[in-house]
Structure 1
Amino acid sequence: MQKSWTLFLLVLAVVAACSPANRKNRIKYTFETANKKLNEGYYEEAVVLYTQVLDKDPEITDAYLNRGVAYYEMGKYVLALADYNEVYRQRPAYHEVLFNRAYAYMELERVQNALEDLEFLGQIYPDTALLAVVEGLVYEKQSDYPKAIECFTVAIGRDANNFDAYSNRAVMQYNLEDYPAAKVDILEALTIHQNEPYALNTLALIDAEMGELAEADSVIQLAMSMVGGQAYFINNAGYIQLKQGDIQAADSLIRLSLKYDDKNPFAYKNLGELYLEKKQVNEAVSVLQQSIALDSGLIGSYELLVDAYLSINDHVSACAVYEFRADQLERNPCE
């Protein structure tokens, strides 16, 4: 999947500061400006503003929470975790922050810690859809897509209008290559939350895999128009152009996405596929190895790397790649 699942992060929009009126108003204005930047996706600017708030009053718990969300969205999970821990230290009765902390633990591959938080939350909120959604994301992180689907289905049973459950179940169906089921779920999600850009991104990828390339291109363009500079959207637009056979446009978009985020394994995978189309095998091998280094679970990169080696009759290297992921790769080049 080209980074499509969405998740719910708790954000607080109000601030209380125990300080004189003028100072309190300045803090409130800075906090509200930071929230606006956060909601618009300007995470670095939001972090700067939340930090200014905390410099003036380090007891404003909400600023730690929202700064943690901004750090999370920037991929700075250690810093996000530190802020969530501070929220919980200052306000131990605010158990909801543990949902956010579980997300951070998952990204840091601390699955057991995430499960411990979820187990605790399950005692407090045993029948909430959100708990089932987060449990599903834990299983997704472990690539246990069937179990993740079970969790998202439970969430839908608890809340028939749960956008996150439908959108994430669609991603799991996509990962299992059940594209018709994935499309049903993502369209349901978009009925609940019309034109949500990350759901549109998922829909575009599903359409692409179903061969509906013109529709996929139209949908990803809409998503990009709503969230400027989103590296994964731009890369996915390049992937769709690649499937349409427009190598030049694909090359331009994929490289542009890497300018925004040079740690995206999907972009290197797509670039590898593009190089193979251009018969530039050495370049393909290099970027596919980069993709695998960034995400060792991205099976598509292994498949392309096997193809690259076979195209130059390097059966030894192709076989070595296959044996590393033999349980997940269909074609055996070692025979």
Structure 2
Amino acid sequence: MRKFILSFLIWGAVGIPAFSQTYEELSERAVAATEQDSLVQAEKYIMEALKLDPANPHNALLFSNLGTIQRRQRQYDQALESYTMALNIAPRTVPILLNRAALYLELGKDELARMDYALALDLETDNQEALLMRAYIYRQKRDYKAARSDYERLLKLNPLSYNGRLGLAMLEQKEGKYEEALSVLNKMIADKADGSTQITAPLYAVLYVARAGVEKDMQHIDLALIDLEEAIEQDPSQSEAYLMRGQIYLSQKKKELARRDFEKAVTLGVPQGDVRDLLQQCK
């Protein structure tokens, strides 16, 4: 998700009175330290600025930046508190709402995230990030009608949205509308092939994995294997491709091939626990 670390010069540009020199210096040093990944030092500068002037209305931005720094350090409870403090000062600030919503998702608090995305959309009806992420939450909750509404609204705003189109394809798959899902994915792959869109090889590989998943559901196993091979060629670090191919091999009783793919998926970041049962079946 986007990091909301902004230069405090923005505030001056919109006609807000200048900070005291010390407050401004601390704020700017915090931004510079964050950009250099000196997160502990950045946090220290922000805390000093907040103590210096606890009533300053610009502390909304300081608290938001502090929340992002804490989130990057996996201090999730503190980050949530900081984002909430920022919103207490500036409750209608969409970027801060998006930051807190993203953190709620990381913490598995999907309903609270949905509420923040909904509020962001009340304030900015065409906010594409909020539409995309709320659609994702609806899809996870199996509220497919609401998810479709958000995806379609997003794609009216941005017809070439990679995540929006991929999300819609996954929604079609969830609803068992396999031909519709393939239509979306085929168009995305064709767009990349003819240069209509510019995406990286890893993102291109994801499309092949997604299409393989639809083909697998349709029992078109040979086609799925071809797409998984293409995904791995495009991005050898594509763990999902190895995981899915291993599952196909296992269903075909090709246990040694399946074991190799599951082990490769683990080396690429798939948690050992997620494949423990599958590896047991390979014996």
Shorter-chain TM-score above 0.5: yes
The gaps in structure 2 that reach 5 residues or longer are 10-18, 51-57, 214-223
Specify the code of the residue in structure 2 equivalent to 1:206. Answer: A
Residue 275 (structure 1) aligns with: 280
Query: Are 1:250 and 2:280 counterparts?
Result: no
- 1:125 alignment partner in structure 2: 124
Residues 1:143 and 1:12: Cα distance change in structure 2 (over 3 Å): same
Write the deviation string for residues 174-223 of structure 1: whole angstroms up to 9, x where unpaired.
545635145246548966551174x34532422443332320211332xx
* Correspondence for 2:32 among 29, 41, 49: 29
Q: How does 1:69-108 map to 2 (within 5 A)?
A: 69=68, 77-108=76-107
Deviation by residue 1:228-263 (Cα, 9 ceiling, x = unmatched)? xxxxx4x425315524663453243233345xx74x
Query: In the alignment, is the contact (CA less than 8 A) between 1:200 and 1:219 conserved in 2?
Result: yes
Q: Which amino acid is 1:142 matched to?
A: K
Select which of 4, 10, 19 maps to 1:11.
4
CA distance in 2, matches of 1:248, 1:168: 30
Q: 2:233 aligns to what?
A: 218
The question of 1:153 aligning with 2:157 is answered: no
The 1:141–1:272 alpha-carbon spacing in structure 2 relative to 1, beyond 3 Å, is same
- The aligned amino acid for 1:82 is E
Cα distance in 2 for residues equivalent to 1:69 and 1:173: 34
Q: How far is 1:148 from its partner?
A: 1.7
Q: TM-score, normalised by structure 2?
A: 0.65
Q: In structure 2, the residue corresponding to 1:138 is in which secondary structure?
A: helix
Corresponding residue number in structure 1 for 2:199? 194
Q: Which amino acid aligns with 2:243?
A: Y
Partner SS, residue 103 of structure 1? helix
Q: 1:24 to 1:89 in 2, by over 3 A?
A: closer
Alpha-carbon deviations, 1:20-52, whole Å to 9, x = none?
Answer: 587666444313213xxxxxxxxxxx6535424
8 Å CA contact 2:148–2:171 kept in 1: the answer is yes
Q: Distance in 1 between matches of 2:175 and 2:113?
A: 24
How many percent identity over aligned positions? 14
Distance 1:157 1:120 in 2: 21
RMSD across aligned C-alpha pairs, in angstroms? 3.8
Q: How far apart, in 1, do the equivalents of 2:68 and 2:171 lie? A: 24
Q: Which has the higher contact order (CA 8 A, sep 6+)?
A: 1
Counterpart position of 2:243? 239
Write the letter of the residue equivalent to 2:156: G
Shift of 1:98: 1.4
* Pair 119,150 (structure 1): closer, same or farther in 2 beyond 3 Å: closer
* CA–CA distance in structure 2, aligned partners of residues 144 and 130 of structure 1: 19
Task: Measure, in 1, the Cα distance between the counterparts of 2:26 and 2:126.
Answer: 42
Corresponding residue to 2:40 among 41, 48, 54? 48
Task: Note if contact 2:34-2:42 (Cα within 8 Å) is conserved in structure 1.
Answer: yes
2:277 is aligned with what amino acid?
G
Letter paired with 1:100: N
Residue 15 of structure 1 deviates from its aligned partner by: 3.9
Provide the rounded CA distance (Å) in 1 between the counterparts of 2:68 and 2:166. 20
1:236 maps to amino acid:
E
Cα displacement (A) at 1:136: 0.6
User: Within 1, Cα distance between the matches of 2:71 and 2:47?
Assistant: 20
Q: Distance in 1 between matches of 2:276 and 2:82?
A: 36
In the other structure, the counterpart of 1:183 is 185
2:261 partner letter: A
For 1:32, give the aligned amino acid. E
Per-residue CA distance 1:55-109 (angstroms, 9 max, x = gap): 4434765564355456657876544422321322343442332123233334445
Q: What residue is the counterpart of 2:210 in the other structure?
A: 206
TM-score by length of 1: 0.56
Cα contact 1:166–1:189 (8 A) shared by 2: no
